[in-house]
Amino acid sequence: MKFEKIKNKGQARLFESQYLEMLTKTHPLVIWGMYIPIISYMLYYSHDTLGFKVSTVAMIFFGAMFFWSFFEYIMHRFMFHFASDSPKVQRFIYVMHGNHHEYPRDKQRLFMPPVPSLILASAIFGAQYIFLRQYTFMFFPGFLLGYLIYGSMHYAIHAWNPPFKFLKPLWRNHHLHHYKSEDKGFGVSSSVWDVVFGTFFDLDKEKEDKEKVKELMFNK
């Protein structure tokens, strides 16, 4: 993740094949459009077919959204920033996340694209079903919505200034993760777990570098 210079133009070439390369890019609205029907149907199925009370569906759904924030933190901290001497592992980490650090203005790779996203989502649903059984139809939609919010917040942090003052610490925490230290600031949709695990930047001591922040923002 330690690049000599952030590249403000272009995007990483991840595969030699133009077809594989095409499958690495997407637009946020495509992913929202793909998953909202799945989320809606599973919640409906949980209540109408499985017979769970609306209160039960809502409790598990929102609990799963909160769980996503923890999953997001763990994945970002321990997988996407995993250090290894293996070229194959380094290549995998670069494809998954490193290219975003080198090309932070690449807005086509903030969401996992449709094909790999559906494959991974199916695997996660299967893994959750092993443990949760019927409750998966309430838990998985909340987990998915958490992911959609995470991706959208990530997009917003690189696209705009914080719309509300209370969101500025979240924005700064992510910006500092990019240009100050990759060992802190792992939360994107929430800073809760950075605070819990002591990886939130001390914003009172960190002077905001507006030029470096500008390098992380999408071209208008």
Mean pLDDT confidence for 114-136: 97
CA 136, 119, 31, 192 torsion-angle sign: positive
Of the listed ranges 66-70, 125-129, 142-146, 206-210, the least confidently predicted one is 206-210
- Spatial neighbors of 112 by CB under 8 A, at least 6 apart, are 26, 31, 120
Per-residue pLDDT of 178-196, as tens digits, reads 999 999 999 999 999 999 9
Helix axes 168-179, 136-159, angle to 10 degrees: 70
Q: How far apart are the C-alpha atoms of 171 and 157, rounded to whole Å? A: 6
Q: Which tens digit of pLDDT belongs to each residue from 30-70?
A: 999 999 999 999 999 999 999 999 999 999 999 999 999 99
Q: At what angle do helices 114-132 and 28-48 cross, to 10 degrees?
A: 30
Among residues 136, 96, 132, 126, the alpha carbon closest in space to that of 112 is found at 96
The predicted model scores a pTM of 0.94
Q: What is the mean pLDDT of residues 15-42?
A: 96
Banded model confidence at residue 6, pLDDT cuts 50, 70, 90? confident
The CA distance from 123 to 129, in Å, is 10
User: Is there a contact between 215 and 179 (Cβ–Cβ < 8 Å)?
Assistant: yes
What CA–CA distance (Å, rounded) separates 134 from 208? 48
Give the separation between CA 167 and CA 63, rounded to whole angstroms. Answer: 22
Report d(CA 189, CA 73) in Å as an integer.
Answer: 9
- Selected residue with higher pLDDT from 5 and 175: 175
144 residue type, one letter: L
84-113: pLDDT as tens digits:
999 999 999 999 999 999 999 999 999 999
